[in-house]
Amino acid sequence: MKQEFAIHWFRQDLRIKDNPSLNYLSKKYKRIVAVYIYDEVNCDKKLGSASKIWLHHSLIYLNKKLQGNLVIYNGDPIKFFKLILHQYNVLEISWNRCYEPWVIKRDRFIKNNLKEEVKVNSFNASLLWEPWEILKQDGTPYKVFTPFYRKGCLNYKKPRIPYTRKFNFFDHQIKFSDISGLKLLTNKDWEKKIIKYWMIGESHAEESMHTFFSSGIKDYFEGRNFPIKKNVSKLSPYLHWGQISPNTLWYEALKNKNKSDSKNIDTFKSELGWREFSYNLLYHFPKIYSQNLQKKFNRFPWTKNNKFQISWEKGKTGYPIVDAGMRELWQTGYMHNRVRMIAGSFLVKNLLIDWNTGEKWFWDCLFDADLASNSASWQWVSGSGTDSSPYFRIFNPTTQAKKFDPNGEYIIKFIPELKEIPLKYLFSPWECPKNILNDINFKFGIDYPRPIVDLKLSRQKALSAFSSLKSY
């Protein structure tokens, strides 16, 4: 007789706790088989290098948790389901929803295609509110964050309360592929170095959350702007891969309301709100990852400059805060939010390079690379989004560094070559007098580059390019 079981299809919900699809199946079935499908067939944008590393280690962790029972398949999910339905008696297939436009299209196709043969169900496990739930009174999507969050989200029903049912994964003999067969790693030195900064897996996400709520949250409102401070949670990669749910964070934040100033808690919740907003934009404007939301930006006179682009990617622009951020990204797979804004603004507004170029580099290097948040944030930085930093807001990397890294600790951490430069000149080393440079044996072009553009001139150039769009 054919084996009988239900399937939970793991996607960006790589956790056991507070997993709505798993909760649902475990209520109905004793035998659940967990599956992960690596699908490069139906996607318009393949995973970046850092995401592949995270995924590799996440699958190893998850498979261990499931006592080696995670079924791995590489290819088109519909093919997998057809095969497995043919060979086994599958009672139901269930998953948690994702919101990339090609995934929505694929999942719809799979549901329609399988519904005659097997029951198929899907759940929300990664958002506090579904994007189609939060709409303006006239039924159209919000385009501005504050009303989206305050009027839309906070007035809507409360987010689902996290919940975990006990269940056992069925000890089966099904085998399609193994994790190494997905070839997510390429054995480059960079891969080995970058991963050392992280502990990957559900329990580590929980540990990070507890650490954050026992210390970082206390001064989150102020401290989250200072890249050297430990006031941010660094939970974004775990959130992206679903190793912790936003619901868990939302309710944990509420639990901490008495321990911390409500300003800190409310700000943290509103940051989760920004994540929701990004998903809302992605859902309602599915081309957001490649096309300007404001069409007038299609006429923007971007420059193509390979030398500038590489200097930016490698953290060699001559502007210490920009370079520290870009090196943090390269070394750790993460960049602090404040520095993402500064480095992003520098690329788009001082180098006049199209935001898509920056989006692609971040996509490849970030462990938290997320189609919704990355695209929406880049559109925000460039001014082409719906609720964007206005074009005339051009971050000055020197004043930003003085304000948010006043002792230069973040800069020195990632650019140790600058450690002998007196603090007075650390944010603009090109102003450091020659005699001091000689004393410390510092050579521009060898130890650290001179600025690749002049801030004032490039700012003027950007302003006139941006104002040329006004007439459209």
Ligand X SMILES: Cc1cc2nc3c(=O)[nH]c(=O)nc-3n(C[C@H](O)[C@H](O)[C@H](O)COP(=O)(O)OP(=O)(O)OC[C@H]3O[C@@H](n4cnc5c(N)ncnc54)[C@H](O)[C@@H]3O)c2cc1C
Q: Is 378 a residue that touches ligand X (CB under 6 A)?
A: yes
Radius of gyration of the chain (CA): 24
Give the range of 55-63, 291-299, 377-385, 439-447 binding ligand X by CB under 6 A: 377-385
- The Cα 278–Cα 118 span in angstroms is 34
Under rule CB under 6 A, which residues in 49-108 are in contact with ligand X? Answer: none
Nearer to ligand X, 71 or 253 (CB): 253
Contact 321/427 with Cβ under 8 angstroms? yes
Shortest gap between Cβ of 51 and ligand X (angstroms)? Answer: 10
Under the criterion CB under 6 A, does residue 362 sit at the interface with ligand X?
yes
Q: Which is nearer to ligand X, 15 or 240 (CB)?
A: 240
Judged by DSSP in three states, 444 sits in: strand
Q: Is 302 in the site for ligand X (CB under 6 A)?
A: no
Q: Which of 58, 248, 377, 428 binds ligand X (CB under 6 A)?
A: 377
Query: What does the alpha-carbon distance between residue 122 and residue 112 come to, in Å, rounded to a whole number?
Result: 13
Q: Are 164 and 16 a contacting pair, CB within 8 Å?
A: yes
- Which residue has 């497995």 as its token pair? 84
Q: Is 233 in the site for ligand X (CB under 6 A)?
A: yes
- CA–CA separation, 54 vs 360, rounded Å? 18
Structure tokens at 272: 């989760």
Mind giving me the DSSP string for 353-408? --HHHHHHHHHHH-TT--HHHHHHHHHHHHT-SSS---TT----HHHHHHHHSTT-
CB 398 within 8 A of CB 455: yes
Options 50, 90, 182, 235; binder of ligand X; rule CB under 6 A: 235
Applying CB under 6 A, among 232, 321, 322, 462 the residue interacting with ligand X is 232
Site string for ligand X, 115-154 (x = CB under 6 A): ----------------------------------------
Binding mask 379-398 for ligand X (x = CB under 6 A): --x-----------------
User: Should residue 13 be labelled a site residue for ligand X when binding is judged by CB under 6 A?
Assistant: no
- What is d(CA 407, CA 96) in angstroms, rounded to the nearest whole number? 45
**Which residue's CB is nearer to ligand X, number 94 or number 236?**
236
**Is the Cβ of residue 130 or residue 417 nearer to ligand X in the bound state?**
130
Report the nearest approach of ligand X to the CB of residue 156 (Å).
19
With CB under 6 A as the contact rule, the residue among 65, 234, 269, 349 that binds ligand X is: 234
Residues in binding contact with ligand X, number by CB under 6 A: 27
Structural contact between residues 427 and 368, judged by C-beta atoms closer than 8 angstroms: no
What minimum distance in Å lies between the beta carbon of 101 and ligand X? Answer: 16
Select from 97, 327, 340, 349 the one that contacts ligand X (CB under 6 A).
340
Element (H, E) at 36: strand 32-38
Q: Does 239 bind ligand X (CB under 6 A)?
A: yes
Rule CB under 6 A: say whether 271 interacts with ligand X: yes
DSSP string computed for 217-268: GGGHHHHTT-TTSS-S---HHHHHTTSS-HHHHHHHHHHTTTTS-HHHHHHH
Minimum CB separation of residue 270 from ligand X in Å reads 9
| Under rule CB under 6 A, residue 272 binds ligand X | yes
